[in-house]
Chains A and B, each alone.
Chain A
Amino acid sequence: MLLELTGITKKYGDFFANKKIDFSLEENEIHAIVGENGAGKTTLMRMLYGMETPTEGSISVRGIKHKINNPNEAIKLGIGMVHQHFMLFPSFTIAENIVFHHEPKKGILYNRKKAEEEVAILAKKYGMNIDPSQLISDAPVGVQQRVEILKVLYQGADIIILDEPTAVLTPLEVKDLLISLRNLSKQGKSIILITHKLNEVMQVTDRVTVLRDGQVTGSLKTKETDTGHLSKLMVGRELAKKEKTEVKVGASILSIEHLNIIENSSKKKLLEDINFQVKAGEIVGIAGVSGNGQSELIAAITGLLQVNEGSIHLADIDITNLSVRQIREAGLAHIPEDRYLWGSAKTASVEDNLMMTEYRKKAFQKNGILHTNVIRKFAKETINKFSIKTTSQEESAQNLSGGNLQKLIAAREIQQNTPFLLAAEPTRGVDIGAMEFIHEQLLMKRNNGDGVLLISSELSEILSIADRVLVMFEGKIVGEFTQADVSDEKISLLMAGGKHEQG
C-alpha cells in the first residue's frame, strides 16, 4: 500500500473535525473523497500534507510510519497538495511560480532559461498545455490550475492531493483536467481528488471514500456504486426532486438598457450594449464561460464599477452609478462571485460576517448603538436555519469550511427579503444537500414575486432553475432562451462563440 492513514482523529477544542478515519491509497490509483461541507475532507488532507497535526492516529507512506510536521516534510515524502484556493504569485511568470523554492541556478543566480525549459518539458510529459513565460495574472483560471498541479509535480510528488480543483473551472476546463488526471495516473502518479460533483467521481476515479460529520460512512470501488448511493451515504437521506411551480410573471424589477463599460487604459469594451430585464417572479440565468463580461456586469449592477453609458433601473429607481449603499437600499441583495475577496472578512466572526447587510436596519440598532442581544439571536437562528456548520457564532470565518462560508453568505443575502437578488455562483463549492437547499431558497424567492438574476458557470445549475437564460460571450449577450426551448447543446455552442440559429 502506497499510503495508509489509520485511526486519524482531529479535535478543535471539543469539536471532532475528523474521528477515527481510516484511508488508503494504492499506486496509480485515483481515489475520491466526497462529503458534505464541513465533513472534514480538507482537514484530513491538511494533516496528510503536514499543515495540521492529528490529535490521534498514524500515517504511513510505503509501509513506514511518519510524523509529518510541515509541508516540506510532506514534499520530501512525495506528497503534494493543490489547495482549495490557489496560492500563486500573480506578478510572476508561470515558470517562476512552478520552480519557486527549487529554482535551477546558474552560480548563485536564478537561471530563467533553464527554468523555462524544465517547465516546458515537464508540461509536455504530462500533456498539459501552458506557456512558461506567461504571467500568472494573464492566465485564465484553468491554466492557473494546471500551474498548481505542475508545481506539485516539479517538487517531485507521487501522491497528489487536489482539493476541489474543479469548482472554479468551466465545463471545458473540467474535461481537460479529468483527462490530465487520467494521464497522471497512467504515468505512475496516485491522486486524491476531493469534489462535490459526483459525475466527476464516476468518470475518473477508481475508489471513493465518503465522509460525514468527520467519520467515514463508506469506502467503495467506483465501479460498484452510483451517484444515488453516494449521495445517500453523504447526506444520510435521498435527495428530493425539485418541483417548480408556475408563477405569474409581473412587472420589471431590474431593467438594463444600452449598458456599456469601457476599460480605462485600453479603451476595450468590457460590456457592449447590454439590454435585458428581470421581472417579478422570474429567475433569469446568465450562462457563459467565466471571463466573458459576467464579473463586469455584476460589478456594474451592484455599484462596484463605474458605468460609462446606458442605464440600470432597480424597482423603478435609476441606480446607474449610485453608491453601493444606495443601491442596496433600493432593493439589492448580492451573493458575490468571490467569497473571500468580496463576500466576507476572514478574520471577523461568523456573527460579524452575517451582520454586514443588516447592521443599519432598525431592528439591530438604535441611534447607532447595536442591539447585541437581538444580533446574537438573529445569528443563531440563521446558523440553524441554513445549517451552517460552525463551533460557535464567535468563531472567525476563516475556520469555516469553504462550503459553509458560502452558505453563510447565501443565507445573509437571501434572508434580506429584497425585491431583487443577484446570485453569482451561489453554490460554488457547496455540497449537494446545501445546493438543493440554496436552490430551493432561490425558487422560494421567485415564488414570492421577487426577481433573481443567476450568474453561473455551472450550466446544469442554470438549466435546472432558471426561467429564462441569456448567454454571454465577449461582453455581449449573444442569445436568449425560454425554459421551454433551452438545451445544453444550444447554450454550449453560443458560449463557445458559435452563432445562434434562429428557429
Chain B
Amino acid sequence: MNKVKNSASKMMQPLLAIVVGLIVGAIAMVLAGESVLNTYHEMWKGAFGNFYFFTSTLERSIPIILAGLGVAFAFRAGFFNLGAEGQLVLGAVTTAIVVVYLPFTGVIAIIIAIFSGMVIAGLWSFFAGWMEQRFQINLLISTLLLNYIAVLFAGYLVSEPFRDTSSAGGVPQSVMINDAVKLPALFEGTNLHMGFIFAVVATIILAFIIKRTTFGYEVRMLGQNRFFAQYGGINRKKVMFTSMLISGMLAGLGGGVEVLGMHYRFIEGALTTPQFAWTGLMAALLANSNPIGTAVMAIFLAALDTGSLGVERNTDVPNAISDIIQAVLIIFISARFTFTFLKLKKKEGKKHGKSI
C-alpha cells in the first residue's frame, strides 16, 4: 500500500507541472483572444486526432525518448550528462556514413551501421567522463561544450568530404541511403518506423537494469549517496564510465534510427533544430529519471509539438503556444533543482557538523 502511495506522490510532481503548464497556456490563449477549449481541442486533434497524426507524434518521440533515456541513466548514477545533443548527432552522422560505405546491404548492414553510431556517441560521452576522472573537469561543462564540437564537426563532414553533391546548393547533407537499409515503417503510409520498437525495448531494458540488476543497484546507490557507495565498495570510476558510455550510446541510437527510418540521410540541423536532445533532457527531469516515466513524458512533449502544429494550421494561435507550456515545465524543473541544490548545500554542512 505504501508503495502505491509512494509512487503516486512521485507522479504528482510532473502531473502538477503539466496541469499548471496547460493552465498558463490557457491564459495565453485568452490573452490572445482565442477560445481555450477550441485551441486545446485542435491541439489534441493535431497530436492524436487521427491515426496519421498519432503515428507522427510517436515518430517524433523516438529520438526524444532515446536521448531522454540516456540523460536519465547517467543521472541515476549521479552524473549530469548535458551532451545528448552532440551524441545524438554523432550517432546519426556515423550511421549515415557507415551505411553508405558498407560493401553490402540488408539487416546486417543496418545493425553494423547503427551499432557504429552508438559506439562513437558512447565514446564521446565516455570521453567527458574520462576527463572528469583524470583532470577533474566538471561534467556539466564538458558535456555541454562537447556538443558544439560534435555538431559542428558533423556539419563539416556533410558539407565537405561526405557531401551529397548530386543536389547542388541547399542544406548540406549526406547521400541518400539504399532502400535495403531503410528501417521499415510500422504501418503502411505512416512515418512511424522500427525505431519506435527500439525505443520501447530500450525503455524496458533500462527499467529492468536499474531495478533488477546488481549494476543498476550500484548506479542507484552511487546516485543517491556517493559516500555510501564508496563505503560499500562500489567502484565509482567503473560505474561512471559504464553509465556515461551507455548514456551516450542511447542518444547515438536515437540519431541512428532517425537517419535510417526517417530522413534516410544525415541532414545538417535536422536533429538539432527540433531540439530533440533538450526535450529528452526535459522528459528525463520531469520523470525523475524513471525510464518508463521518461518515455511517457517524451511522448507527451512530442504531442505538444505536433499538436501545436495542428493549432497553427487550424486557428490563429501561433505554435509558440507549445513553447509557453514548455517554459512553465522548465520553471518547475528548475525550481525543483534549486530546491535539491539547497538541500545538498545543507548536507555538505552536515558533513562537517557530525550528524548523530
A 349-364 to B, binary, CB cutoff 8 A, 1 in contact else 0: 0001001110110000
Q: Is B351 in contact with A87, judged by CB distance below 8 angstroms?
A: no
Give chain B interface residues in 189-232, CB to chain A under 8 Å: 212-215, 217, 220-221, 224-225, 227-232
Report how far A136 CA is from B234 CA in the complex, Å: 31
Report how far A158 CA is from B3 CA in the complex, Å: 42
A365 cross-chain contacts in B, Cβ below 8 A: 213-214
Q: Is B6 in contact with A338, judged by CB distance below 8 angstroms?
A: no
B2 in contact (CB, < 8 A): yes
B274 in contact (CB, < 8 A): no
A340 cross-chain contacts in B, Cβ below 8 A: 350, 355
Q: Is A343 in contact with B228, judged by CB distance below 8 angstroms?
A: yes
Q: A352 touches which one: B217, B233, B349, B353 (CB < 8 A)?
A: B217
B214 cross-chain contacts in A, Cβ below 8 A: 359-360, 365, 368-370
**Given A345-B225, A359-B217, A90 and B352 touching (CB < 8 A)?**
yes
Give chain A interface residues in 249-303, CB to chain B under 8 Å: 302-303
Binding site secondary structure of chain B: helix
Q: How far is the CB of A394 from chain B (nearest CB, A)?
A: 5
The interface size of chain B toward A, counting residues with CB under 8 Å, comes to 33
B233 cross-chain contacts in A, Cβ below 8 A: 303, 323-325, 327-328
B134 in contact (CB, < 8 A): no
Report how far A368 CA is from B215 CA in the complex, Å: 7
Q: Is A304 in contact with B225, judged by CB distance below 8 angstroms?
A: no
A339 in contact (CB, < 8 A): yes
A336 in contact (CB, < 8 A): yes
A 85-112 to B, binary, CB cutoff 8 A, 1 in contact else 0: 1111110000000000000000000000
A402 in contact (CB, < 8 A): yes
Q: Is A342 in contact with B353, judged by CB distance below 8 angstroms?
A: no
Q: How far is the CB of B46 from chain A (nearest CB, A)?
A: 39
A192 in contact (CB, < 8 A): no
**Given A359-B214, A394-B3, A341 and B356 touching (CB < 8 A)?**
no
Q: Is B235 in contact with A325, judged by CB distance below 8 angstroms?
A: yes
Q: Is A87 in contact with B350, judged by CB distance below 8 angstroms?
A: yes
Q: A348 touches which one: B220, B227, B235 (CB < 8 A)?
A: B220
Q: A89 touches which one: B229, B235, B349 (CB < 8 A)?
A: B349
Q: How far is the CB of B230 from chain A (nearest CB, A)?
A: 6
A168 cross-chain contacts in B, Cβ below 8 A: 354, 356
Q: Is A348 in contact with B221, judged by CB distance below 8 angstroms?
A: yes
Closest to B228 in A: A345
**Given A86-B350, A370-B217, A334 and B212 touching (CB < 8 A)?**
no
B1 in contact (CB, < 8 A): yes
Q: How far is the CB of A467 from chain B (nearest CB, A)?
A: 27
Q: A136 touches which one: B5, B221, B352 (CB < 8 A)?
A: B352
**Given A346-B225, A370-B213, A137 and B356 touching (CB < 8 A)?**
no
Q: How far is the CB of B333 from chain A (nearest CB, A)?
A: 18
Q: Is B213 in contact with A369, judged by CB distance below 8 angstroms?
A: yes
A428 in contact (CB, < 8 A): yes
Residue picked from B1, B214, B354, most chain A C-beta under 10 Å: B354
B 229-247 to A, binary, CB cutoff 8 A, 1 in contact else 0: 1111111000000000000
Q: How far is the CB of A267 from chain B (nearest CB, A)?
A: 23
Q: Is A345 in contact with B221, judged by CB distance below 8 angstroms?
A: yes
Report how far A339 CA is from B228 CA in the complex, Å: 9
Q: Is A13 in contact with B350, judged by CB distance below 8 angstroms?
A: no
Q: B346 touches which one: A87, A141, A348 (CB < 8 A)?
A: A87
A318 in contact (CB, < 8 A): no
B217 cross-chain contacts in A, Cβ below 8 A: 352, 355, 359, 370
Q: How far is the CB of A211 from chain B (nearest CB, A)?
A: 18
A231 in contact (CB, < 8 A): no
A347 in contact (CB, < 8 A): yes
A482 in contact (CB, < 8 A): no
Q: Is A372 in contact with B230, judged by CB distance below 8 angstroms?
A: no
Residue picked from B214, B229, B234, most chain A C-beta under 10 Å: B214
Report how far A86 CA is from B228 CA in the complex, Å: 20
Q: A334 touches which one: B231, B350, B355 (CB < 8 A)?
A: B231
B188 in contact (CB, < 8 A): no
Q: How far is the CB of B22 from chain A (nearest CB, A)?
A: 29
Report how far A136 CA is from B233 CA in the complex, Å: 31
A167 cross-chain contacts in B, Cβ below 8 A: 356
Report how far A395 CA is from B354 CA in the complex, Å: 24
Closest to A403 in B: B356
Q: How far is the CB of A13 from chain B (nearest CB, A)?
A: 6
A84 in contact (CB, < 8 A): yes
Q: How far is the CB of A239 from chain B (nearest CB, A)?
A: 23
A428 cross-chain contacts in B, Cβ below 8 A: 356
Report how far A342 CA is from B353 CA in the complex, Å: 14
Q: A85 touches which one: B215, B229, B231, B355 (CB < 8 A)?
A: B355
Report how far A168 CA is from B221 CA in the complex, Å: 27
**Given A13-B1, A90-B349, A395-B2, A352 and B355 touching (CB < 8 A)?**
no
Q: Is B220 in contact with A352, judged by CB distance below 8 angstroms?
A: yes
Closest to A303 in B: B233
Report how far A421 CA is from B234 CA in the complex, Å: 19
A215 cross-chain contacts in B, Cβ below 8 A: none
Report how far A84 CA is from B212 CA in the complex, Å: 35
Report how far A280 CA is from B102 CA in the complex, Å: 66
Q: How far is the CB of B346 from chain A (nearest CB, A)?
A: 6
Q: Is A341 in contact with B350, judged by CB distance below 8 angstroms?
A: yes
A429 in contact (CB, < 8 A): yes
Closest to A135 in B: B352
Q: Is A342 in contact with B228, judged by CB distance below 8 angstroms?
A: yes
Report how far A336 CA is from B228 CA in the complex, Å: 10
Q: Is A336 in contact with B231, judged by CB distance below 8 angstroms?
A: yes
Report how far A343 CA is from B228 CA in the complex, Å: 6
B225 cross-chain contacts in A, Cβ below 8 A: 341, 344-348
Q: How far is the CB of B220 from chain A (nearest CB, A)?
A: 7
A144 in contact (CB, < 8 A): yes
Give chain B interface residues in 307-356, CB to chain A under 8 Å: 346, 348-356
A 381-420 to B, binary, CB cutoff 8 A, 1 in contact else 0: 0000000000110110000001000000000000000000
A431 in contact (CB, < 8 A): no
Q: Is B227 in contact with A342, judged by CB distance below 8 angstroms?
A: yes
Closest to B217 in A: A359
Q: How far is the CB of B144 from chain A (nearest CB, A)?
A: 26
Q: How far is the CB of B207 from chain A (nearest CB, A)?
A: 14
Q: A87 touches which one: B1, B220, B349, B354 (CB < 8 A)?
A: B349
Report how far A408 CA is from B1 CA in the complex, Å: 22
Q: Is A347 in contact with B235, judged by CB distance below 8 angstroms?
A: no
A344 cross-chain contacts in B, Cβ below 8 A: 225, 228
Q: Is A164 in contact with B356, judged by CB distance below 8 angstroms?
A: yes
A359 cross-chain contacts in B, Cβ below 8 A: 214, 217
Closest to A290 in B: B354
Q: Is B231 in contact with A88, judged by CB distance below 8 angstroms?
A: no
Report how far A338 CA is from B353 CA in the complex, Å: 10
Q: How far is the CB of B50 from chain A (nearest CB, A)?
A: 42
Report how far A176 CA is from B354 CA in the complex, Å: 19
Report how far A84 CA is from B356 CA in the complex, Å: 6
Report how far A26 CA is from B212 CA in the complex, Å: 55
A-B contact list, 21 entries, CB within 8 Å: A85-B353, A85-B356, A86-B355, A87-B350, A88-B353, A90-B349, A90-B353, A136-B353, A137-B352, A144-B353, A324-B232, A341-B225, A341-B228, A342-B230, A352-B221, A355-B217, A356-B228, A356-B232, A365-B214, A392-B2, A394-B2
Shortest Cβ-Cβ A-B pairs, 6 listed: A86-B353, A85-B355, A325-B233, A90-B352, A345-B224, A356-B232
Further 4 A-B residue pairs, CB within 8 A, beyond A144-B353, A428-B356: A168-B354, A342-B227, A344-B225, A392-B2
Measuring CB to CB, which residues of chain B are less than 8 angstroms from any residue of chain A? 1-3, 5-6, 212-215, 217, 220-221, 224-225, 227-235, 346, 348-356
